[in-house]
Structure 1
């Protein structure tokens, strides 16, 4: 069977009531590219663990600056633990300098990675920590460098370290796993296939867990749930929904950010996945977080809610019942253009719903704001989203709804007709 193209695969991103299928598919493809670009800007999929300069200058007696990496690598095979620690620390520091391109390939070229992976199995927390840090920063590099870590068998050992009694060890292990998962869907699936999820979810539920560990674990979870072509297996990722329901009430903005992204990734799919988010009781909290004081939380919360609104009318009504429209009105007044655009996109999926849902938008006086954005907005993509929200309402609303809404009638006045073609719809934008 021929594979579906990207437009067809992303068909569900917009509801289709009143629209020609070819229009929706084209719009889905365009929006998909933009959302992916926005996602890259909002959340890094890999992170390097950096070291302070003062620490880099300390403890360099064994392997001072300029010592060949081949000599450092040989020390990993020494019998003395102190030599092994010194060698790992030298590699770790070389890979951790602020503001410098790390010598990842040079370290790999010494052939040390299999030995570093082996050291993960040693019954020595300090060695395990240093080895995991080295692997974390190697995995922060290119896909080929990340696959070197996988190819040397690091993943099952890193997963096992999630049960360590030492927080500093498990923190570094979960960070390394997050970097590997963030490289690509293929690497992500290697991690998911190593039975990480039960260990990670158990870790996320530990009472009074160190905040930096919790942040890293929540970030790793988001990397495990992200990605397309292929998507992560739902039977694995959906097991995190009950844990998300708790994480979304944490007070730390970073934990909230990562948890909202995880919810957004899960909801970016079929209605069955959206239903798990609904059944898990996440919707009301996600709507609340749309008005969080940190933009890093608002962006993924809005994305998650917008993705839920691509579901069926029943799922959309759940979101409306959580008072999403007043929150969207607040976001429409923000100076942040990306948030305004996504708010318009979310509203367009409400107005693509049933007539009761269109009436809810009318009753909240959203259309004056949309028309103002459509006519006066400075960014084309935001204006286009506002136009789609209006056009969905004029296509799916009743004549009485259109007649009773001064603003919907005003939206139709330029052509004095219901818009039926792509060209005439875009004329609403004045371009």
Structure 2
């Protein structure tokens, strides 16, 4: 076979090259035979698409285990040259796109090398609507490989991919969607400027729609991206709300623990916003479920549910706080004050302080409701908490709203 591949007769070359392509020969055997540079030469035969396809197929097979030999012999640059228009054959494009995906996935160094060689623009061109499903499939997988890995590529380098990924999101194919959402998930964790790029690319509406997808994996990836998008400013969060995210979030409360956790986290980002955004959460009837999860769910979900409620007490109007009280939030926050989770305890104290502050203005006797829920007794005990932050917050609440009880429970100087 080797003699045939190295023959000077093109017909003999093709015959034996095809044997390599169809023979399922072990990759180590191909590499050790020294035939890889010969197949890279065949890639350059622009007068024979069949030759290019066979060569690309063999090299793609090699790339599944040994990408170094391809880099060392200049295959990456030729792959990119073919993608950039040296051939318009979609089967060749499919093989070289797959091979590039394997090279990109092999290591951070090879990923960065392929990007430096100029692969991104030709890769994005493969997402054209008229291209074959399989080609778009492997292109979306390769793009996801570019976006993954630590350290991540600078956002500005991958920003051109957003428009291509927006197209893929509208294809009703689970594998497309998983790859596109994976890539977007890697890109979404960033600054307000990055979030704005997602909004400007028109991605939000489709991502919100995907919260109702049949695939649990698509749902959790779309939710993860939306969670990141709600980490922006209030205007950016409002864009997510305006696309109807809240009713779809309500449907996710019954799913698995990770989805519930991310759902509560997303809502907590929203309730950290404006009064109008808090009202949108109330209007979507999400508070009763948050209260139930804060009472009964496992710890990581409980923490985010409490955070969502505490945030609502911080930025909510007096009427909104009255609504929270009617939903049982005072008892909930008091019940959790004796948990051995400082983060949750502090959120509960902050929530209760916000409620008490609103009660002072509105002349509502929320302090009595806290006492009835055994909250005062627990707050007094928190003056002895190991966390200085909790101790100080408990002391502040007591001195402001229960001065007499605080005086009765005074500690010796320097006790804490």
TM range (shorter): 0.7 to 0.9
1:167/1:213 contact within 8 Å kept: no
Q: CA deviation at 1:109?
A: 4.4
Q: CA deviation at 1:154?
A: 1.0
Are positions 1:134 and 2:99 aligned together?
A: yes
Q: CA deviation at 1:372?
A: 2.6
| Aligned positions, number | 356
Q: CA deviation at 1:361?
A: 1.9
Report what 2:134 is aligned to: 168
Report what 2:158 is aligned to: 191
- Relative to structure 1, is the Cα distance of residues 358 and 199 closer, same or farther in structure 2, using a 3 angstrom cutoff? same
Q: CA RMSD in A?
A: 3.3
Are positions 1:338 and 2:316 aligned together?
A: no
Unaligned segments of structure 1, at least 5 residues: 1-57, 95-102
Residue deviations 1:210-256, cap 9 Å, x none? 2211222233233333224x741514434212222322222211121
Q: CA deviation at 1:384?
A: 3.3
Report 1:238-387 matches (<5 A): 238=200, 239-289=202-252, 291-352=253-314, 353-375=316-338, 377-387=339-349
Q: CA deviation at 1:315?
A: 0.9
Distance 1:334 1:73 in 2: 63
Structure with greater Cα Rg: 2
Are positions 1:60 and 2:13 aligned together?
A: no
- Relative to structure 1, is the Cα distance of residues 316 and 415 closer, same or farther in structure 2, using a 3 angstrom cutoff? closer
Report what 2:7 is aligned to: none
1:266/1:273 contact within 8 Å kept: yes
Residue deviations 1:238-285, cap 9 Å, x none? 421222232222221112112112211111011110111122222221
1:261/1:300 contact within 8 Å kept: yes
Are positions 1:424 and 2:388 aligned together?
A: no
Indicate the larger mover: 243-252 or 166-175. 243-252
Are positions 1:213 and 2:181 aligned together?
A: no
- Relative to structure 1, is the Cα distance of residues 84 and 328 closer, same or farther in structure 2, using a 3 angstrom cutoff? same
The TM-score with structure 2 as length reference comes to: 0.74
More helix by share: 2
Residue deviations 1:307-326, cap 9 Å, x none? 11111111111111111112
Q: CA deviation at 1:364?
A: 1.1
1:347/1:389 contact within 8 Å kept: yes
The TM-score with structure 1 as length reference comes to: 0.72
Distance 1:267 1:371 in 2: 29
Report what 1:83 is aligned to: 55
- Relative to structure 1, is the Cα distance of residues 366 and 210 closer, same or farther in structure 2, using a 3 angstrom cutoff? same
Distance 2:344 2:106 in 1: 35
Report what 1:30 is aligned to: none
1:63/1:87 contact within 8 Å kept: no
Equivalent of 1:155, from 120, 129, 143? 120
Are positions 1:232 and 2:232 aligned together?
A: no
Q: CA deviation at 1:402?
A: 1.4
2:211/2:248 contact within 8 Å kept: yes
1:309/1:346 contact within 8 Å kept: yes
